[in-house]
Amino acid sequence: MSADRYLIFHKPYDVLSQFSDGTLPADSPRQTLKHYIEVPEVYPVGRLDRDSEGLMLLTNDGPLQHRLSHPRFHHPRTYWVQVERCPDATALNHLRRGVTIKTGRTRPAQVDLIEPPALPPREPPIRFRKSVPTAWLQLTLTEGRNRQVRRMTAAVGFPTLRLVRVAIGELTLGDLPPGEWRWLTAAEVKQLRQSTHQSVS
């Protein structure tokens, strides 16, 4: 049996969070994880939409993958979100309490306005309109519905322009550049297992 492997990847914009796209010919220019990661038999824990960026965890540890992905375990994920205009206190409190989106009412979230973070430029950049200011939120969810963050900010009237996942539990993106990956340290693996109540060898 092969040893457990754990790595994190900084997914760039416009990259599919899977290793293949069976709907496209082999010579398609669309990029997937295989264009960046050559480690065999590791699989993404959850996913990021094609138009989202940031932290992905990949592993061959099935029990850990299940605990991090299954909604009943309420494992937190943190995002930096650039939105159109600046949300007021009413909108922020609405997000904190939970909003109704296409798939039902969301769980309460941790939401705060933050200063623009020091992120690498996105390629291509977001659409920019001089007449419409933007703001950044830090938003932590304990569930992962399809396009949830975008649907939540749209529901309170502040559409998402850029979305970057920066943490999965205590595991953070740090200064890992877009398109790069690294192995988790032994301490990170231990902490990750502890956070999901797995035994630590």
Any idea which residues carry the catalytic annotation?
49
Could you give the C-alpha distances from 62 to 16, 59, 197, in angstroms and in order?
A: 21, 8, 14
Angle at 53 between CA 49 and CA 58, to 5 degrees: 80
Burial 141-162 (b: 16+ CB within 10 A, else e): bebbbebbbbbbbbbbebebbb
End-to-end CA distance of the chain: 16
Residue listed under structure tokens 């297992």: 193
Enter the tokens of residue 112.
């705060």
Residue listed under structure tokens 């309490």: 97
Kindly report the number of other CB atoms within 10 A of residue 46's CB atom: 15
